């Protein structure tokens, strides 16, 4: 696997266009991603019962099992909790985009992100659709502009791309994502879009997306909130000319590794850009009784507000970590837990096999004062392991979310 540039346009046969519609005051806030040919699509959506109109629309399109041509995304307005008008606006957007591209409306998916409970300004949306549809480009620098167009409170664009070899053919997978606040396991306030020029069986692609999400987006936490618009969409257009990849393909493992890498890197970027965050925390759980127990433990620790606050204060309060493990629902033996903090300043064991150690508090403070921190939780219950990613909880988080609408 080779890391390459190009983001969402690294894969062949895709083009984008972005513009500032005016939904956001000054920045680009719409992007249109188009495949030259019909592309197989896979998707995953929010677990929140309150779902935005675009989420319900995309879910219905996905269930049809047909290839798609395009994804239209706007930021600044979530089109969530907007009643019948919101539903009508989604269908209008899809129909208008399809007419501009010369395809069917159910070959277009729609995504929105931003403020909840405010109807779309359709005059601005329609103007943006016309512009984007008529200014599509496959130039790689346009990928970055597209990644910028989907951001809300994010501070940087999130892009990644890789290349692998499948039967002597170069196959590329690229992606972009947005997410900063309202991030919690079981999807988050995030949009993620993946393109690949591989020839991938649709059923396999959907299954692969599900398994990749379980170890990437479902293992991150910023603040414990989930949203109405969370969406991950994958388009595979087969333009690389590689053999079909499915569950029985000899190239399945190579493709799976690259595909999962893209999602995991995007997930990590979302956490690193957590609202008000000053520290990136990676939690590793090893020696768990089962994969489920390992995941539950890692997710519970990284989601705890008290643990996040301790990381913000560079406080080696491992009791909060053990407490979070205890209410995770996982089965483990607390009397055999070992914990270790690591960063560029060194490493320190604070509890060993359930026994508190008289550790160097000054060294622990230095270790936890770094921007990137690793927490190792070592159990003696089995051979399963899991990783999760999170950040600290700061004063800045409250400031950002206190005036989000203004």
- Which of the residues are catalytic? 189
Radius of gyration of the chain (CA): 22
Cβ neighbours, 10 Å, residue 127: 15
How many angstroms separate the CA atoms of 193 and 233, rounded?
5
CB 178 within 8 A of CB 24: no
How many angstroms separate the CA atoms of 307 and 356, rounded?
18
CB 263 within 8 A of CB 213: yes
Contacts of 156 (CB under 8 A, 6+ apart): 269, 273
Q: Is 328 helix (H, G, I), strand (E, B) or coil?
A: coil
Identify the bridge partners of residue 377 per DSSP, sorted by sequence position.
285, 339
How many angstroms separate the CA atoms of 37 and 67, rounded?
9
CB 330 within 8 A of CB 388: no
How many angstroms separate the CA atoms of 180 and 267, rounded?
10
95, two tokens: 């129909």
CA-closest candidate to residue 312, choices 254, 365, 264: 365
CA-closest candidate to residue 376, choices 327, 336, 338: 338
CB 27 within 8 A of CB 157: no
CB 89 within 8 A of CB 83: no
Contacts of 109 (CB under 8 A, 6+ apart): 41, 43, 57, 58, 61, 68, 70, 71, 72, 94, 233
How many angstroms separate the CA atoms of 93 and 401, rounded?
30
State which H helix or E strand residue 173 sits in: strand 169-178
């Amino acid at each position: 696997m080779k890391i390459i540039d190009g983001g969402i346009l690294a894969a062949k046969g895709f083009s984008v266009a972005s513009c500032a519609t005016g939904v956001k005051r000054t920045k680009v806030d719409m992007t249109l991603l188009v495949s030259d040919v019909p592309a197989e699509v896979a998707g995953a959506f929010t677990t929140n019962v309150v779902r935005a109109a675009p989420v319900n629309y995309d879910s219905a399109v996905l269930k049809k099992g047909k290839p798609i041509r395009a994804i239209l995304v706007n930021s600044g307005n979530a089109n969530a909790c907007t009643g019948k008008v919101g539903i009508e606006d989604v269908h209008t957007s899809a129909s208008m985009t399809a007419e501009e591209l010369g395809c069917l409306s159910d070959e277009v998916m729609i995504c929105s992100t931003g403020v909840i409970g405010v109807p779309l300004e359709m005059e601005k949306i329609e103007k943006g659709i016309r512009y984007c549809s008529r200014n599509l480009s496959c130039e790689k620098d346009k990928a970055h502009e597209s990644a910028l167009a989907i951001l809300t409170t994010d501070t940087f664009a999130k892009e990644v791309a890789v290349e692998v070899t499948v039967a002597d053919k170069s196959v590329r997978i690229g992606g972009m994502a947005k997410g900063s606040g309202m991030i919690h396991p079981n999807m988050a306030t995030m949009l993620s879009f993946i393109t690949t020029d591989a020839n991938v069986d649709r059923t396999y692609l959907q299954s692969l997306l599900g398994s990749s999400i379980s170890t990437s987006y479902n293992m991150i936490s910023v603040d414990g909130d989930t949203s109405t618009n969370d969406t991950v969409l994958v388009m595979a257009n087969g333009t690389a000319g590689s053999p079909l990849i499915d569950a029985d393909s000899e190239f399945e493992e190579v493709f799976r590794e690259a595909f999962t890498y893209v999602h995991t890197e995007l997930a990590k970027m979302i956490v690193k850009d957590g609202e008000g965050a000053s520290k990136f925390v990676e939690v590793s759980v090893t020696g768990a009784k089962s994969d489920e127990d390992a995941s539950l433990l890692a997710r519970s620790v990284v989601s705890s507000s008290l643990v996040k606050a301790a990381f913000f204060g560079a406080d080696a309060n491992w009791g909060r970590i053990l407490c979070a493990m205890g209410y995770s629902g996982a089965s483990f033996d607390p009397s055999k837990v070992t914990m270790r903090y690591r960063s560029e300043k060194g490493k320190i064991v604070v509890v060993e096999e359930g026994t508190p150690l008289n550790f160097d508090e000054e060294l622990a403070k230095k270790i936890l004062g770094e921007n990137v921190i690793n927490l190792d939780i070592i159990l003696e219950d089995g051979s399963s392991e899991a990783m999760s990613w999170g950040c600290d909880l700061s004063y800045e988080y409250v400031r950002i979310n206190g005036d989000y609408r203004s």
